[in-house]
Structure 1
Amino acid sequence: MSADASVAVAPAIGWRAWLRGLKPLTLGWVIGLAVVGAALLNPIFKPSFLELTGRTVFVALTSLLAFSAAGHWQPRGLPRQVPRWLVQSLALALAAPLATLVVYLVSTRGDFRAFVTNEARLFGFLWISVPAILVGLVLALGSLLREREAQARTLQLQLDLHQAELARQAVDARLALLTAQIEPHFLFNTLANVQALVETGSPRAPEVLRSLIAYLRAALPRLHEDGGLPALANELTLVRAYLELMHLRMPDRLQFTVQAEDGVETARFPAMALLTLVENAVRHGIDPAEDGGRIEVQARRAADGALLLRVTDTGVGMAATAAPGTGLANLRERLASVYGPAARLELAEVAPHGVCAEIRVPQAA
């Protein structure tokens, strides 16, 4: 496209925007006020009411067009410090008397001398042009105030949207931080347990390494997921691999079961969240217990459709362990970030000893 063609397009866009600004409701108000003005002036004018209405409507519409045009096309060379409303007001103040002058020149067939030498015509000129300027400026002021209010509302909505976006980014960053705090904890703790078995020359070392490979295959892809929440089936696979690994480390002290209700494995659930409870049960429940214990992992749906995940151990119980550490605190905060206040993580004692940890989160499907 040539430079000339580019220049020709710009005014067309401006004209279309200007015409779109002349809304039917605005035109109706202007014409209505012009008719009212003609009715008020009719007793003191010699021309018929119809002719007088034509004059007032012409002046009103010309003033409106000048006011609107000044808002779209600022005069060249005008300092930027001059506000747009001032330019529009000056345009209206000039357009009203000029339009009235055109009306009278038409009525005198272009005889300017006949206009200026006729006192009645000069009197009529003032009665039409001056009220047109005053009423037009009042209406223009109201229009500008409404425009400013609309701009203020738009800016407020944009600010609210920007703040909401910043809040969402903050939640995402916090969630990423919590995930980064949790995942290395499990990985390096498991590696430390495997290292202890390998260094002691245990004959179970090859089997342990195979289980470690299965665990890493289940865990490592989860660490880099950028999309939505993974399926619960992925988390259950990871939990089984971890418990198998721990069982090989202490075969006489740890027994476990992992049960999932039919259809529940397709539910979406944060990676590593269930593993947090399982690893906690091993470290703080089974490991300190002299005779070890059993861990049961259950996944099911409640009557209201909520997802229930329960990890029960028969270890030493909460009374014999230290206060909950950062793992559970981070998990609570992570669940709240994903599901909101409806998510719950509760711990309860199990008779005669042990702990039951339950996660309850809402599910859309």
Structure 2
Amino acid sequence: MSDSIVSPPLAPRERNPWLAYYVAGCVLAWLLYVLAGTEFQRGLWQLWEAVYQATLSLWPPMLLGLAVHPWVNRLQRMAPAPAVAFLLHALAALLFGALWELCEFTSAWLLFGHDHAVAVLLQTLLWRAIWGVVAYAAIATGFTAMLQSRRARAAALAAAQAESALARAELAAISGKLNPHFLFNTLNSLIALTRKDASAAEAGLLRFAGMLRYVLDSKRSAADRVALADEVEFVRDYLFLESLRLGPRLRIDWQIDPATLADEIPPLTLQPLVENSVLHGVAPRVEGGRIRIRSGRDEHDGLALCVEDDGPGCDPATLEQPDAGSRRGIGLAALQRRFALDYEGRARLRVHTQPGAGFRVDLWIPQV
């Protein structure tokens, strides 16, 4: 047999811990400054002097750095040309250095007087300007990387949510194709039966009522799961209705492993496959035919299902380009699409057929 194998959108608001990261970075820089300026062999007083120097020197850039985050965030939202962005950052770096010097001059004036503040300013003017640019560049680079990473995560989340919503919508549309197709065929069978045997038609209607309840329940959500036992019972009711029409021409071979009855599958998984076998493998033949329905577990602990008939089969090439009279049918086409979308693409559907060699569909459905 031949085998046929079948600008980012806004994301929900998320916690932005940039301030905690910034404070942690400032504390680390302060500790490194203290360690670099401490000579422990000279006594504890040297440690306190290093703490004093680190605090006096670093509080201005640490405080000013808080304003860099909203500035970088605004620049990223504006998305200026690279040359314009470089110019704006250069001006911001110069302003950062000037404000650092102003803060240091003010604190020195308040602590030690005007003359000392002026002397310190003249002594450190050039180096403070250089270190201001370096500090601004480091802080702005860190915030830029953090914001870009956050936006990338938000874009990935939004894309995943959009893809998930699209998959749910497509699954719902697929289920909508399966159910009316099944109901149409079943109603036709019941109408034909009422003309031949009224009591059998009444029994069939009772079965049909139970089947209809199952179909309506399965319409709650395309992502719902049902126990294999419920799906098997549903298929038994369907085959009972078909047997009223086809009689002994329809022969069923059930090979259901009891250990799999509690396994979960999408609703209306087996019925379209069995219906295809009835319509194309059994009903057109005077002698009828046999349908085999199997379930079991494989070495990967997944549920393996098989629906097979001994009918005329078909050319596998027709499965790739189905037409109105194709054996593929609406149910099989929809199931193939459903299995491509559901279970994160892990479920499998394979068709085995050749002219004169029957038709078999194997399903593998993960259970974890």
Answering whether residue 251 of structure 2 is matched by residue 252 of structure 1, we say no
CA distance in 2, matches of 1:153, 1:142: 17
Answering whether residue 357 of structure 2 is matched by residue 357 of structure 1, we say no
1:294–1:313 Cα contact (<8 Å) kept: yes
Aligned to 2:147: 151
Answer with 29-38 or 178-187: which moved more: 29-38
Q: Percent identity?
A: 26
Give the number of aligned pairs: 322
2:298 to 298, 302, 318: 302
Aligned to 1:64: 61
CA distance in 2, matches of 1:345, 1:307: 14
CA distance in 2, matches of 1:239, 1:302: 23
Offset, 1:156: 0.9
Aligned to 1:169: 165
- Report the 3-state secondary structure (helix = DSSP H, G, I; strand = E; otherwise coil) of the residue aligned with 2:248: coil
- Report the 3-state secondary structure (helix = DSSP H, G, I; strand = E; otherwise coil) of the residue aligned with 1:93: helix
Answering whether residue 95 of structure 2 is matched by residue 90 of structure 1, we say yes
Q: In the TM superposition, what whole-angstrom CA distance separates every residue of 1:169-222 from its partner, at most 9, and x where no partner exists?
A: 111111111111111101111111111222456553223223322332333322
CA distance in 2, matches of 1:51, 1:100: 22
Aligned to 2:174: 178
Change over 3 Å in CA distance of 1:89–1:241 after alignment to 2: farther
Aligned to 2:216: 220
Change over 3 Å in CA distance of 1:30–1:344 after alignment to 2: same
2:330 to 326, 350, 362: 326
Answer with 284-293 or 88-97: which moved more: 88-97
1:62–1:95 Cα contact (<8 Å) kept: no
Change over 3 Å in CA distance of 1:52–1:347 after alignment to 2: closer
Aligned to 1:313: 309
Aligned to 1:288: 284
2:348–2:364 Cα contact (<8 Å) kept: yes
Q: In the TM superposition, what whole-angstrom CA distance separates every residue of 1:225-264 from its partner, at most 9, and x where no partner exists?
A: 4663111111101100000010011213212233311220
Aligned to 1:272: 268
1:295–1:312 Cα contact (<8 Å) kept: yes
Aligned to 1:29: 29
CA RMSD, aligned part only? Answer: 3.8
Answering whether residue 333 of structure 2 is matched by residue 337 of structure 1, we say no
Aligned to 1:6: none
1:99 to 86, 96, 104: 104
Change over 3 Å in CA distance of 1:258–1:98 after alignment to 2: closer
Q: Which has the larger radius of gyration?
A: 1
CA distance in 2, matches of 1:298, 1:230: 17
CA distance in 1, matches of 2:244, 2:306: 23
Greater relative contact order, per chain length (Cα 8 Å cut-off, separation 6+) = 2
Offset, 1:56: 5.3
- Report the 3-state secondary structure (helix = DSSP H, G, I; strand = E; otherwise coil) of the residue aligned with 2:295: strand
- Report the 3-state secondary structure (helix = DSSP H, G, I; strand = E; otherwise coil) of the residue aligned with 2:360: strand
Answer with 63-72 or 129-138: which moved more: 63-72
Stretches of structure 1 lacking an aligned partner (at least 5 in a row): 1-16, 40-48, 75-80
Q: In the TM superposition, what whole-angstrom CA distance separates every residue of 1:41-94 from its partner, at most 9, and x where no partner exists?
A: xxxxxxxx99997885454233124414545899xxxxxx9x899778636523
Amino acid at match of 1:357: V
1:233 to 216, 224, 229: 229
Could you state the TM-score of these two structures normalised by the residue count of structure 1?
A: 0.74
CA distance in 2, matches of 1:349, 1:134: 80
- Report the 3-state secondary structure (helix = DSSP H, G, I; strand = E; otherwise coil) of the residue aligned with 1:358: strand
Change over 3 Å in CA distance of 1:227–1:127 after alignment to 2: same
Offset, 1:38: 12
Offset, 1:343: 0.8
CA distance in 2, matches of 1:148, 1:167: 28
Aligned to 1:208: 204
Stretches of structure 2 lacking an aligned partner (at least 5 in a row): 1-16, 40-45, 72-77, 79-87, 316-324
What is the correspondence of 1:6-85 to structure 2 with a 5 Å cutoff?
Answer: 20=20, 23-30=23-30, 57=54, 59-68=56-65, 70-71=67-68
CA distance in 2, matches of 1:335, 1:68: 53
- Report the 3-state secondary structure (helix = DSSP H, G, I; strand = E; otherwise coil) of the residue aligned with 1:252: helix
